[in-house]
Amino acid sequence: MGDAIGDLLPIAVGIAISPFPIVAIVLMLVTPRGRVNGPAFLLGWALGLAAVGAVVLSLAGGGDASDDGAPATWVSVLKLVLGLLAVLVGVRQFSGRPRGDAEPAAPGWMRALDTFTPIKALGAGVALAAVNPKNLLLTLAGAAAIAQTGMDADEQAVAYAVFALVASLGVGIPVVLALVLGERSREPLDKVKTWLEANNAVITAVIFVLIGAKLVGDAISGF
């Protein structure tokens, strides 16, 4: 199990430092309902990751993801496809980055965070973890990597729980800071948000190209 978790950590860290969800949670935390909506968003994020993991691991369990300890061919194909998609996302993200003094465009729902109820915040967390294509791609890759190990169901659940915990650090740490430090957390969180907004495209591009390259390499070695 230790080797499996070690292989998963780069993907989990990639999700954790993905700028978009961190910017979303920081913006949410500085709204009037931030101390309620922030934890609700984090709960939704955890539920989203859990849902994707449960579906992928269940399907993989019925599809014989491991062949005598080696990845089944279909798992290697899946990782190859996910890896190539990740590289493509990274390249497109970098080529579409804001140039010069151009401001990165924010989604409309981010501008409406002041009006969010805890239910909407929870839904946003689920959506960013389980529906947002970029995070979904990486989460699928992590779950597929667990499924191919051939571990029993309990060990897979533990490995995925570790994966989900690490993947949640990016949105979880700001929530903890806001709850513990209160108003004192506003300035450092705002600085982090501003930096991430300015460098979102480049950070995302690097994450996806590196993880994509790793997935492609793993897939090739599995054939």
pLDDT by 10s per residue, the chain, length 223: 666 677 788 889 989 988 888 988 998 898 888 899 999 999 999 999 999 888 888 877 655 555 555 566 777 788 889 889 989 988 988 887 776 666 666 666 667 777 889 999 999 999 999 888 888 888 888 887 787 776 787 888 888 999 999 999 999 999 999 999 888 888 888 888 888 877 878 888 898 899 889 888 878 876 6
* Burial class of residue 165 in the structure, from the number of CB atoms within 10 Å of its CB (0-12 exposed, 13-18 middle, 19+ buried): middle
Please state the pTM of the whole predicted model.
Answer: 0.82
Dihedral angle sign, alpha carbons of residues 117, 39, 162, 209: positive
Structure tokens at 16: 């954790």
Instruction: Give the pLDDT confidence score for residue 62 in this predicted structure.
Output: 55
The reported pLDDT for the residue numbered 204 is 85
Domain chopping of the chain, boundaries: 2-222
**What does the block give as tokens for 143?**
């779950």
Helix (H), strand (E) at residue 15: helix 2-16
- Residue (of 56, 31, 28) closest to 42 by Cα position: 28
pLDDT at 68: 54
The per-residue pLDDT for 164 is: 93
**With contact defined as beta carbons under 8 Å apart, do 34 and 179 qualify?**
no
In the DSSP assignment, the letter for residue 67 is E
The confidence score (pLDDT) of residue 139 equals: 87
